[in-house]
Structures are given as structure tokens and as C-alpha cells.
């Protein structure tokens, strides 16, 4: 876990790199190069104007946790200019990092429902029967060498996403069991492996952005993906093409006159 001095050092370094150019770090064996203008132009979702501090927080998390935003491992989301920005981690990052941990021994997760009889039931998966009421989610993360797993249970009312008018948003309305189960899984993974998941939050945990379809959103254009890790270059100014002469104005090709043609016999003269 990063200490205060380490984080302060990273922020100071980011301030220097903001002044002089690119922020560089390694992610999944590849060198990532980001700049403040690149983040603002291509990596902000929602249309809001992010501040320098919000960009710095985003870059600090990406570099410390070795996240590649061009591969949709991290998102910087902001709607109105007066609203704070939200940083969320891509949905596949948690699964991949957990599976890569040498002491990870699997997980179990599901929903908590209230049966018609009044019994509270923890069920694996996300299925809720017609006469049951969904009240929460749970997860267990197993760690090699530990006798008991890391267990987390979360309440639905605490995390359900709502619109500004108080109504439940579409994602939570369509699949509340899947959403609350994911919240429990992510929290259990953070408890089990704090170094691997420090500062990383899933979209489902954040009320204000839980209704955005980040998995289908084109975050970066094709040209940016291809040149994301290259040093910024200057565009080459193309020279204008020479004017085209219309065929009607083009002169017919004159016959080639061979030097000394008049002194030659008729059968040796070049044909026009």
C-alpha cells in the first residue's frame, strides 16, 4: 500500500510532467505515455470540463495501479462543470488481476433475498424468484493459506443507482441482482488484496455513473489508439497538386522531326 510520502512524490512528479510533457509508466508489459491534453481531449466521458486536479488524480491512479485507459481499464467521467469527476475501473480489470494473484483461490458470490416466509436467504448467482424481494448481495474471496475467506455483504438500498428525480436508473431496473452482486465481489476483492485494488472502484459502486454503458462506448478513435504511445508529432503540410489541364485545352502532340530529315530518302523518313 502506497504511503503518504510515495503518493506525494507521485503528485509532485506529475506536476513536473504536466509542465514539460508526457507521463510515462508501464502497464501489462507496455509503456504508456499520456499527457494532460490527451486525457482532456480523448479520455473524458460525459462532456464536462475536468480540472487539473481531477486529471492529476486520474493519472496518479493509472500510473500507481498500472492501468491502461486506452484499453478501457480506467475511465474519467464528468457531466456538468460544477459536478465532481468520477474515476471508475474497467469491468475486466478486477477479474484479471484476481486470477493473476498467486494466493487467490477463487470466489463465491450471489444475492441476498427476503423470502415470502420472512426468511433471509443468501443464494449464489443473481436469480430472484417472483415472490422474493432482493435486499442485497454477498461475496466470499478465498485466499491460499487462510482458513476463512474474506466475506462481504452489501445492502441494495445503499448502492442502487437513481436518477436526479429519485427514480431507479435503467441498469439497476433491468438487472438489480447482477449489479448488487458485482458490488459485493469488488468490495471483497479490495478487502482480500488491498495492494492490487487500492483506489479502484467499479462502475456499479458509483451512483452517478452506474447507468453509463462504458463497455460499448468508443473512448478513443482509431487514430489515437494507433498513436497512443508515440511522441506527439507535427502534421506534415501537404503540397498542393499541380493544376490539371482540361483535355479540350491540351494541345495535340506534334510529330517528332528527325534532324536532317529532308536529306533522307522518302522510305527512311520518320512517320508523323
| Mean pLDDT, the chain, integer | 81
For residue 106, pLDDT over 90 is answered with yes
Structural domain range at position 57: 1-90+214-232
Q: What's the rounded mean pLDDT across residues 177-205?
A: 95
Which residues are 134's β-sheet partners? 113
Whole-number pLDDT of residue 91? 85
CA dihedral sign of residues 254, 258, 260, 261? negative
Domain count of the fold of the chain? 2
- What's the rounded Cα separation, in Å, for the pair 120 and 183? 19
Report which of residues 35 and 215 the model is more confident about. Answer: 35
Q: Tell me, yes or no, whether 246 lies in a domain.
A: no
Q: Residue 209 pLDDT > 90, yes or no?
A: no
Q: Are residues 132 and 180 in the same domain?
A: yes
**Considering only CA atoms, which of 15, 14, 75 is closest in space to residue 48?**
75
Does residue 263 form part of some domain? no
Whether residue 97 sits in one domain with residue 193 = yes
Q: Are 59 and 96 found together in one domain?
A: no
**21-61 pLDDT, tens digit each:** 688 999 989 999 999 999 999 999 888 899 999 999 999 99
Q: Is residue 269 part of a domain?
A: no
Same domain, 112 and 69: no
Q: Same domain, yes or no, for 19 and 151?
A: no
Task: Give yes or no: residues 70 and 112 share one domain.
Answer: no
Answer yes or no: is 46 within a domain: yes
pLDDT tens digits, residue range 116-165?
999 999 999 999 999 999 999 999 999 999 999 999 999 999 999 988 88
Residue 219 pLDDT: 43
Together in a domain, 138 and 84: no
Check whether residue 45 and residue 28 sit in a common domain. yes
19 Rama sector, left if φ>0, alpha if ψ -120 to 50, beta otherwise: alpha
Residue 82: inside a domain: yes
**Same structural domain for residues 154 and 118?**
yes
Residues 36 and 25 in one domain: yes
C-alpha 167/C-alpha 3 separation (Å) is: 40
Choice between 24 and 259, residue whose per-residue pLDDT is larger = 24
Residue 203 makes CB contacts below 8 A (sequence gap 6+) with 75, 88, 91, 209, 210, 212, 214
Domain annotation covers residue 271: no
User: Which pLDDT band, with edges at 50, 70 and 90, does 79 fall under?
Assistant: confident
Which pLDDT value is given to residue 120?
97
> Does residue 109 sit within a domain?
yes
Domain assignment present for 113: yes
The answer on 76 and 132 residing in a single domain is: no
134 and 150 both lie in a single domain = yes
Lowest-confidence pick of 24-38, 77-91, 214-228: 214-228
- Strand 133-143: give its sheet, edge to edge: 120-124, 104-114, 133-143, 150-155
Amino acid at each position: 500500500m502506497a504511503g503518504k510520502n510515495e503518493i506525494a512524490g507521485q503528485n509532485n512528479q506529475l506536476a513536473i510532467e504536466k509542465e514539460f510533457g508526457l507521463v510515462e509508466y508501464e502497464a501489462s508489459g507496455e509503456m504508456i505515455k499520456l499527457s494532460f491534453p490527451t486525457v482532456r481531449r480523448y479520455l473524458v466521458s460525459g462532456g464536462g470540463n475536468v480540472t487539473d486536479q481531477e486529471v492529476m488524480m486520474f493519472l496518479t491512479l493509472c500510473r500507481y495501479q498500472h492501468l491502461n485507459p486506452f484499453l478501457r481499464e480506467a475511465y474519467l467521467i464528468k457531466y456538468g462543470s460544477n459536478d465532481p469527476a468520477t474515476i471508475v475501473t474497467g469491468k475486466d480489470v478486477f477479474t484479471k488481476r484476481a486470477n493473476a494473484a498467486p494466493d487467490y483461490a477463487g470466489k463465491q458470490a450471489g444475492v441476498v433475498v427476503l423470502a415470502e416466509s420472512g426468511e433471509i436467504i443468501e443464494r449464489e448467482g443473481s436469480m430472484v424468484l417472483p415472490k422474493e424481494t432482493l435486499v442485497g448481495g454477498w461475496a466470499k474471496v478465498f485466499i491460499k493459506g487462510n482458513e476463512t475467506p474474506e466475506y462481504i455483504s452489501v445492502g441494495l438500498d445503499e448502492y442502487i443507482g437513481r436518477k436526479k428525480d429519485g427514480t431507479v436508473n435503467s441498469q439497476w431496473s433491468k438487472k438489480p441482482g447482477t449489479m448488487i452482486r458485482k458490488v459485493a465481489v469488488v468490495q471483497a476483492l479490495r478487502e482480500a488484496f488491498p495492494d492490487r485494488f487500492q483506489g479502484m472502484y467499479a462502475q456499479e459502486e458509483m451512483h452517478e455513473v452506474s447507468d453509463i454503458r462504458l463497455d460499448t462506448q468508443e473512448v478513443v478513435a482509431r487514430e489515437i489508439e494507433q498513436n497512443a504511445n508515440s511522441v506527439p508529432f507535427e502534421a506534415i503540410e501537404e503540397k498542393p497538386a499541380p493544376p490539371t489541364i482540361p483535355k479540350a485545352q491540351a494541345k495535340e502532340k506534334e510529330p517528332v522531326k528527325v534532324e536532317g530529315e529532308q536529306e533522307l530518302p522518302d522510305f527512311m523518313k520518320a512517320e508523323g
